[in-house]
Amino acid sequence: MLLGPGPSPVPARVLRALSAPLLGHLDPEFLAIMNEIQQKLRSVFLTSNQLTIPVSGTGSAGMEACFVNFVDPGDRVVICIAGVFGERMRDVAERCGAQVTAVETAWGTVIDVQQVVETVRKHKPKLAAIVHGETSTGVHQEIKSLGNYLAGTETLLLVDCVTSLGGMPVRVDDWKIDIAYSGTQKCLSAPPGLSPITVSEKAREVMRKKKKKSQSWYLDLNLVEKYWGEDRTYHHTAPVSMEYALLEALNVILEEGLEARWKRHRDNHLALARGLAHIGLQLPVAPHHRLWSLNAVSVPEGINEAGVRRQLLRNFGIEIGGGLGPLKGKIWRVGLMGHGSSRPNVLLFLAALEKTLLDHGYRFSRSGAAQAAIESQGPSDPAP
Amino acid sequence: MLLGPGPSPVPARVLRALSAPLLGHLDPEFLAIMNEIQQKLRSVFLTSNQLTIPVSGTGSAGMEACFVNFVDPGDRVVICIAGVFGERMRDVAERCGAQVTAVETAWGTVIDVQQVVETVRKHKPKLAAIVHGETSTGVHQEIKSLGNYLAGTETLLLVDCVTSLGGMPVRVDDWKIDIAYSGTQKCLSAPPGLSPITVSEKAREVMRKKKKKSQSWYLDLNLVEKYWGEDRTYHHTAPVSMEYALLEALNVILEEGLEARWKRHRDNHLALARGLAHIGLQLPVAPHHRLWSLNAVSVPEGINEAGVRRQLLRNFGIEIGGGLGPLKGKIWRVGLMGHGSSRPNVLLFLAALEKTLLDHGYRFSRSGAAQAAIESQGPSDPAP
């Protein structure tokens, strides 16, 4: 049971789609599938952006595509950093030769949007990048106010939606996001291997006016968009089976409906939080900044962090994640993503964790985490 | 029926492996699968190179990984060009800031190794790159003599084995190849989405001494090798399902045996060539320079090249490829790759092509291509 930071469980329908016999990557039947994928990705990103496609690599390839197509050496960019994926964006931007100004804050807290606005005002960067759902900390970052400000400037807004898309509201057009990327293996519930991205017209203009060719041929969107668009010019061979899986995963999402899916993620997140609180465990992120899809849980004093994870995997077949960087050994990361965000999984996890912590000698204030999660619905948070 | 330049047909065993439930990408069971993949890739590449892994992208991502990890801006590289994939290597190298010296020859012919040797002697490049099986032309390039020469120099030998690995002899250690990349969707008979690469110790030294960080974070082998090696340091999320498929495809290959697999590809290639010759069709590549996995066939005067392909697909469900670049409209490309290289496929294709050409008004010298292919075994070519 994959309850870590991803990959997440994949529905049987999607696994079946994965194993369909292959079509040629320029076969008319496959081209129709490509069109359907683009159209349904637009529905999930809530955008009308023409350039909305899956990049042929995992989420980090999507991140890289979002820099190498826009940034020339010497360009100023602002990167917001409060975890591993913010750090990774800085590294990727620097490899493009960007002059990076970082807006940093402690891991586990949110970026102060006002500080970003002031940094943009001062440096007038080509691009400002921020993580919507920081998988390394479980923090959910507000985006809309930053989008509103940047829309009146020349700066592009680049947002990492890897862990949020399909599990929490991501409204690309409404929030005025220019460039966003995600991954298939989190709340979209397909296997890892593709990175959906979307690019606004404002950003496409910047892409077309870029001085140097993209330093990556593989991720050059000027070439890739000709294959996904009307021209159908051969670029690289699309990962055909993965595209089948993505399409079926998008079908599952749109059949459930985005609003219902978000509500399911929120309800299960709140149930998990109630159960954990009941037995005295702490969630280090402030309640209104918590990701619904990835829950950071503080490791109690004196408990062997990795030992608990090993035992959960061995005794219950449950995988959760540990902390990274400064949070290593201090938190567990519990993913309730896509198909994996279900009430049974919450109960199974809480029961297994309680038993495992008991075995590790943890003294509970009260027992019955699973019961607490299921019994009361708790006060409702404001709607997304 | 995929008889084009790839993807090729995938055995049911491999499709079933693809659809297995997902493991976490750091799960001990998955780490064991990763070890097995590396070991079996070494067997298929005929190498003892430690760094032998699948890159998480299609063949072109593998090509890019083989440049961005070795080439610094300003480095001299020699690229041999006789088709689309040689051209692509030049483009990729230039995006790394390389000073490219091209050794070019007409599409459909082989590169003169002596000319490469002289160019290397003159320019002393960091790297010389050549395509073993040029998918755009159906030409098979001899590699061993170039490897022998370069082994005595500081220049690294980089070889594109996308269309040859698993279908024709590729002997990385014996031929003294320093860097090679392939793709899963040709003679390895897995779906597209991974690019196996192998890197010699000589090349790893160059990689470690590279002045600048690789311009690609996603393809940075210094980071990727830590995930595939002992450290297991998280880099990007491996495309888990595709790794399952690759492992099963490698199992299929090693169960058949490399020698038997090469012989099967050669026999079916020769049968196809006999059948085509029988009805008066020409193969533009000289007999001893033909790829066994991809057959270029000259389009007869006055025949509608694309019309024939469309009709083959519509009436017989057979996909073949057309020509690219200067060969557009002039050749068909018939792939007999991996699982797709079978006597029944040769007969089906010849029968379908003969019927289709008749419908297009082609006047045959003789009929019965399929019969001719099956009846005589023809003179044996020298062993590989």
Six-digit token string for B24: 């976490």
Least confident of A23-27, A160-164, B152-156, B323-327: A23-27
Q: Which residue of B has its CA nearest to A90?
A: B217
Mean pLDDT computed over B266-289:
96
**Residues of chain A positioned with their CB less than 8 A from the CB of B21:** 9-10, 15
Q: Which residue of B has its CA nearest to A4?
A: B24
What pLDDT is attached to residue A375?
76
The whole-angstrom separation of Cα A320 and Cα A333 is 6
The whole-angstrom separation of Cα B137 and Cα B273 is 15
Task: Classify residue A222 by burial, with Cβ atoms within 10 Å: 0-12, 13-18, 19+.
Answer: middle
What pLDDT is attached to residue B377?
61
Mean pLDDT for chain B overall: 95
Q: Which CATH number fits domain A257-375: 3.90.1150.10, 3.40.1190.20, 3.40.50.10540, 3.40.50.300?
A: 3.90.1150.10
What pLDDT is attached to residue B25?
87
- Flag if A217 and B60 touch (Cβ within 8 Å): yes
Which residue of B162, B163, B222, B236 is the best one to mutate when testing the A interface, meaning the one whose CB has the most A CBs within 10 A?
B236
Mean pLDDT computed over B60-86:
98
Beta-strand relationship, B133-134 and B99-104: unpaired
**Domain A12-255 fold:** Aspartate Aminotransferase; domain 2 (3.40.640)
- Flag if A241 and B245 touch (Cβ within 8 Å): yes
What pLDDT is attached to residue A378?
52
What pLDDT is attached to residue B378?
52
Q: What is the CA radius of gyration of chain A?
A: 21
Q: What distance in Å separates residue B92's CA from the closest CA in chain A? A: 6
Alpha helices in B96-220 (DSSP H): 113-123, 144-151, 201-209
**Residues of chain B positioned with their CB less than 8 A from the CB of A24:** 2, 4, 7, 319
**Residues of chain A positioned with their CB less than 8 A from the CB of B30:** none
Cβ-nearest to B10 among A22, A216, A217: A22
Portion of chain B with pLDDT greater than 70, in percent? 98
Which residue of A55, A218, A248 is the best one to mutate when testing the B interface, meaning the one whose CB has the most B CBs within 10 A?
A218
Q: Is the pLDDT of residue B113 over 60?
A: yes
Q: What distance in Å separates residue A191's CA from the closest CA in chain B? A: 6
Q: What distance in Å separates residue A212's CA from the closest CA in chain B? A: 9
Q: What distance in Å separates residue B192's CA from the closest CA in chain A? A: 5
Q: pLDDT higher for A375 or B174?
A: B174
Tens digits of residue pLDDT in B176-190: 999 999 999 999 999
The three-state secondary structure class of B190 is: coil
3-state secondary structure chain A: CECCCCCCCCCHHHHHHHCCCCCCCCCHHHHHHHHHHHHHHHHHHCCCCCEEEEECCCHHHHHHHHHHCCCCCCCEEEEEECCHHHHHHHHHHHHCCCEEEEEECCCCCCCCHHHHHHHHHHHCCCEEEEECEECCCCEECCCHHHHHHHHCCCCEEEEECCCCECCECCCCCCCCCCEEECCCCCCCCCCCCCEEEEECHHHHHHHHHCCCCCCCCCCCHHHHHHHHCCCCCCCCCCCHHHHHHHHHHHHHHHHHCHHHHHHHHHHHHHHHHHHHHHCCCCCCCCHHHECCCEEEEECCCCCCHHHHHHHHHHHHCCECEECCHHHCCCEEEEECCHHHCCHHHHHHHHHHHHHHHHHCCCCCCCCCHHHHHHHCCCCCCCCC
Beta-strand relationship, A51-55 and A195-199: antiparallel
What pLDDT is attached to residue A231?
85
Beta bridge partners of A51: A199
Q: Is the pLDDT of residue B381 over 50?
A: no
**Residues of chain B positioned with their CB less than 8 A from the CB of A95:** 213-217
Cβ(A157)–Cβ(A27) under 8 Å? no
Q: Which residue of B has its CA nearest to A62?
A: B218
Name the nearest CA neighbour of A97 among A190, A189, A211, A175: A211
What pLDDT is attached to residue B232?
87
Per residue of chain A (384 residues), give pLDDT as tens. 999 999 999 999 999 999 999 999 889 999 999 999 999 999 999 999 999 999 999 999 999 999 999 999 999 999 999 999 999 999 999 999 999 999 999 999 999 999 999 999 999 999 999 999 999 999 999 999 999 999 999 999 999 999 999 999 999 999 999 999 999 999 999 999 999 999 999 999 999 999 999 999 999 999 999 999 988 888 999 999 999 999 999 999 999 999 999 999 999 999 999 999 999 999 999 999 999 999 999 999 999 999 999 999 999 999 999 999 999 999 999 999 999 999 999 999 999 999 999 999 999 889 999 989 987 565 444 444
Which residue of A10, A19, A324 is the best one to mutate when testing the B interface, meaning the one whose CB has the most B CBs within 10 A?
A19
- Domain spans in chain A, listed from the N-terminal domain onward: 12-255, 257-375
Cβ-nearest to A213 among B88, B95, B191: B95
Q: What distance in Å separates residue A211's CA from the closest CA in chain B? A: 13
Q: Is the pLDDT of residue B349 over 90?
A: yes
- Flag if B64 and A218 touch (Cβ within 8 Å): yes
**Residues of chain A positioned with their CB less than 8 A from the CB of B234:** 324
ipTM: 0.94
Cβ(B243)–Cβ(B23) under 8 Å? no
